[in-house]
């Protein structure tokens, strides 16, 4: 089983590394030393779609971010992402997102980007990190901002939130330009939790003057300028993400901010960034001066 998961993850990594190139099943099969038939079968088994569909959706989502953030011509983006023609690219973009590339480039609106889950090479809860590892702590400031959020029902962490709301919310949030460059997960403070809704939410931080579209079922909250203690762990293997999170939670419990002239601030939400192995797991815990 682990060998199959490892092969699928290798195919995902290959696609990510070669996303601007033409990728076919032969290349993927060669990357994992399987036959094209078996490689395709494994891909569908673990990811629920063919490699061709996965690649097309990922290319389109990457191109949407280019349209949002860069001033490149649609022709250049279509060619860079390996589409055979501008017409073909435009048709695929409209089928995927419900608008054409020119409309989106001119006036970006929230769209459901494809953000695939990466297959872990091992099942959850089977790997351990036994060596002594460091946690880095620094004071950072978050400016006054708005946060576009999607509330859950009873969720207290990522997996329960996904069951209640769906994991694809992250793709929509990623399509909205953030003041920090990425969406966030939040543990809301008590005064920000509405009756019958969850403590844990996902959202995206935007300018306090934001006047853009708010997707249906989402809402906007206002947050003041806030000081945070940023806790960052060392880089980790992707399959060890739960242990990486646990390291930070343990560090937060043990740390006394009064040593540096602060105390915990219960009036602002705690922030979780996406666990990315190469940068280490990061959380921001609100504090205020003593």
Phi-psi map region of 166: left, alpha, beta (phi>0 left; psi -120 to 50 alpha): left
**Structure token pair of residue 107:** 């006036």
Residue 3 CA from chain centroid, whole number: 26
In three-state secondary structure terms, 282 is strand
* 183-213: pLDDT as tens digits: 999 999 999 999 999 999 999 999 999 999 9
* 20-60: pLDDT as tens digits: 998 999 999 999 999 999 999 999 999 999 999 999 999 99
pLDDT value at residue 41? 95
Number of neighbours of residue 106 by Cβ within 10 angstroms: 9
Question: Which domains are seen in the chain, by residue range?
Answer: 2-106 (1.10.10.60), 135-289 (3.20.80.10)
The lowest-confidence range among 23-32, 103-112, 116-125, 219-228 is 116-125
In three-state secondary structure terms, 78 is helix
Separation between Cα atoms, residue 112 and residue 97, nearest integer Å: 7
Question: What beta strand segments (E) does the chain contain?
Answer: 135-142, 145-150, 184-187, 200-206, 219-223, 226-233, 262-264, 270-272, 282-289
For residue 167, pLDDT beyond 70: yes
Q: Are 171 and 113 in contact (CB under 8 A)?
A: yes
């Amino acid at each position: 089983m682990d060998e199959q998961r490892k092969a699928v993850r290798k195919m995902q990594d290959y696609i990510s590394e070669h996303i601007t190139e033409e990728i076919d099943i032969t290349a993927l099969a060669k990357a994992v030393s399987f036959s094209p038939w078996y490689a395709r079968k494994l891909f569908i088994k673990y990811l629920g779609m063919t490699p061709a569909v996965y690649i097309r959706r990922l290319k389109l989502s990457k191109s949407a971010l280019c349209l949002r953030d860069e001033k490149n011509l649609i022709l250049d983006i279509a060619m860079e992402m390996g589409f055979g023609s501008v017409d073909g690219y435009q048709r695929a973009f409209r089928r995927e997102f419900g608008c054409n590339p020119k409309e989106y480039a001119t006036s970006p609106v929230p769209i459901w980007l494809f953000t695939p889950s990466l297959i872990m090479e091992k099942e959850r809860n089977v790997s351990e990190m036994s060596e002594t590892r460091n946690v880095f702590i620094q004071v950072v400031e978050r400016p006054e901002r708005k946060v576009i959020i999607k509330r859950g029902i009873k969720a207290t962490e990522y997996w329960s939130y996904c069951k209640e709301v769906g994991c694809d919310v992250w793709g929509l949030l990623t399509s909205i330009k953030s003041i920090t460059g990425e969406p966030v997960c939040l543990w809301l403070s008590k005064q920000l939790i509405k009756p019958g809704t969850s403590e844990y939410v996902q959202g995206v931080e935007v300018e306090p003057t934001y006047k853009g579209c708010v997707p249906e079922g989402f809402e906007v909250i206002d947050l003041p300028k806030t000081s945070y203690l940023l806790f960052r762990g060392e880089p980790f293997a992707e399959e060890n993400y739960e242990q990486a999170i646990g390291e930070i939670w343990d560090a937060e419990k043990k740390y006394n901010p009064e040593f540096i002239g602060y105390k915990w601030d219960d009036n602002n939400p705690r922030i979780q960034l996406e666990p990315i192995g190469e940068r280490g797991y990061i959380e921001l815990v609100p504090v205020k001066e003593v």
